[in-house]
Amino acid sequence: MSVFLTKAALRALIGGLGLAAGIALAHAEDAAAPASPPPAQSDTGGPGATSTDDVKQIKLTDEQVTHFISAQADLAAIASKIQAAGDKPDAGLQSELEAIAKKHGFGNFAELDDVAANISIVMAGLDSGTGNFVDPVDALKKEREEVQKDNTIPDADKKQLLDELNEAIATTPRLEFKENVDIVKAHRAEIEKALQ
């Protein structure tokens, strides 16, 4: 079982880009999976915010990614506590998380959380076969085209699918820092290994 820190990371891994306070688990195989369509969201947080839950998109550095990787062993050691806490870690667990973040070169757990979320966004968009990154908006548009061309889908179902895809396209932000793709790709094998 691997720890990928927060709900932000988990949601990003499964295609959503929302950030919420709290902690969740994700598996390395999820990190390597291609992006699935994000749920509909609204952008209410200004620059860097992508939903009411606010994923703070940041420009990653090699140092941040290597610090994130090194923190995984310590996070895995408290994985059962993290899972049990759900959305509301108690003060003791929050102190442990802060200590782990500082031990691995982060100013606080929130910074580690932001790095995890941004790594997750990129990992979610990486095709497991080719390693190519597909922005979630582009993936949604491609899926919409495929649905439009598919004559085997009943009209009512097709309309519902297209409505959902159009809403997702309208409310899903693009990856702000394209250079994050190259940084995460450079560390992809290490990230996946650390999350096993």
pLDDT at 5: 43
pLDDT at 20: 24
Q: E strands, the chain, where?
A: none
Chain Cα centroid distance, residue 136:
11
Task: Give the count of beta carbons closer than 10 Å to the beta carbon of residue 109.
Answer: 22
Is there a domain that residue 49 lies in? yes
- Which residues have a Cβ under 8 Å from the Cβ of 169 and sit 6 or more positions away? 137, 140, 141, 144
% helix, strand, coil for the chain, step of 5: 55, 0, 40
Place of tokens 């915010």: 49
| Nearest one of 130, 164, 124 to 35, comparing CA atoms | 124
- What is 104-135 written as a DSSP string? TT-SSHHHHHHHHHHHHHHHHHB-TTT--B--
pLDDT at 48: 38
Is there a domain that residue 2 lies in? no
Is there a domain that residue 78 lies in? yes
Mean pLDDT per block of 10 residues along the chain (196 residues) reads: 41 32 30 35 36 74 98 93 87 95 96 93 87 89 95 95 93 89 96 91
Place of tokens 């949604």: 140
Report the alpha-carbon distance of residue 61 to residue 119 in Å, rounded. Answer: 11
Is there a domain that residue 14 lies in? yes
pLDDT at 155: 95
What is the tally of structural domains in the chain?
A: 1
Confidence (pTM): 0.67
pLDDT at 54: 60
pLDDT at 8: 40
pLDDT at 191: 95
Task: Give the count of beta carbons closer than 10 Å to the beta carbon of residue 169.
Answer: 19
Say if CB 17 and CB 38 are below 8 A apart. Answer: yes
95: containing domain: 7-194
Say if CB 152 and CB 98 are below 8 A apart. Answer: no
Is there a domain that residue 1 lies in? no
pLDDT at 37: 34
pLDDT at 132: 93
